[in-house]
Structure 1
Amino acid sequence: MTEDQKIKKGIQYIINTYPPIIDYYEWKNKPNTIVKRNRPPDPVYYKSIEQFQSINMNCCSLSDTGKQGYKPHWHEKLIGRFNTFVHIPYLVRYRDKNNDLIVSETESFVALTNCGTPWSGI
């Protein structure tokens, strides 16, 4: 698979599992205190890979390491369960109770097998 094909597989996985769980912050005793984690109540879905890429310009890259530098065991590569991570920083869009559009940044590391199948088992 080409780099572009791998990135598109990762994006399609994000679209299929959208919306992600996001952190909701509040100013309490200190700034940016997480008060809850949940899926947004009224998500604005991405309609296609092309729309995702136009909203999240230059969003994606391939990486041998996942979140916080996680590196799969060499055995995962040997048996084909892991080929690469697709690092995807993107915008989560949803409407609040006043129907205002809220935009939140997040990122995902989608693992792909040697056959290009997205895999969340890592």
Structure 2
Amino acid sequence: MKPTFSKFFFSVILIIIIGMLVHYLHLGYRNFQGYCSETNALISDEKKIDLAIIELFKYYPKTNSELRRRFDRNASPLSTEMAGENYPVPYKNISEFKDLNKNCCRVTQQPSDIEDARATLFDRAMGTKSSFVEIRYFILYIDSTGKRKMLQRETMYAITNCGIVWNGI
């Protein structure tokens, strides 16, 4: 029996569909593993932490009013300690940040303090959330008496497979 044109056409379409399915499953698997197609590499946990710290530096308080807003999140009503002028002290670089905040950072798929925030199977397969970086750190400031003090904070960032940092939620 000679194969008809419709059987041949159906076979070609089926092969194309199977090929596309295998291709996209392979891409999803690579994304799930954290592979960045733009750089052809994986980003190490240490690099993810450094990227998250750089993002944190963008939002680190630079003025007294920004510092007061950060303090207000923990203290209500505003403590008399923060009533005067206080001057935030910025970190010089990532290594100083890590030295002053030992064990500050953790790379995770499931953040510890937010139940609904996690890198889902779909997020990881698409590469939109490779993981989260949780950061516990001190905001350094000089109070109105000239004493250097610290205010503890926590934050979290999501990171894509290619190292783009965002708030993730």
Residues 31-73 of structure 1, C-alpha deviations (whole Å, 9 max, x = no match): x85225xxx9521001100100111112111011234232244
Matching residue of 1:15? 57
Matches within 5 A, 1:1-122: 1-19=43-61, 21-24=69-72, 34-36=76-78, 41-66=86-111, 67-69=113-115, 70-122=117-169
How many pairs does the alignment contain?
A: 114
Contact 1:85 1:112 in 2 (8 A): yes
RMSD: 2.6
Question: In the alignment, is the contact (CA less than 8 A) between 1:87 and 1:110 conserved in 2?
Answer: yes
Structure 1: gaps spanning 5 or more residues: 26-31
Letter in 2 for 1:84: S
- Per-residue deviation at 1:10? 1.1
Stretches of structure 2 that go unaligned for 5 or more consecutive residues are 1-42, 62-66, 79-84
Q: Secondary structure at the match of 1:22?
A: helix
* Matched letter for residue 131 of structure 2: T
- Aligned-partner Cα distance in 1 for 2:104–2:168: 23
Percent identity, aligned pairs only? 28
- How far is the alpha carbon of 1:76 from its aligned partner? 2.6
Residue 79 of structure 1 deviates from its aligned partner by 2.2
Partner amino acid, structure 1, of 2:145:
N
Say if 1:91 and 1:103, in contact at 8 Å, map to a contact too. yes
Q: Which has the larger radius of gyration?
A: 2
TM-score (structure 1 length as normaliser): 0.78
TM-score by length of 2: 0.58
More helix by share: 2
Residue 104 of structure 2 aligns to a residue whose secondary structure is coil
Residues 59, 89 of structure 1: 8 Å contact kept? yes
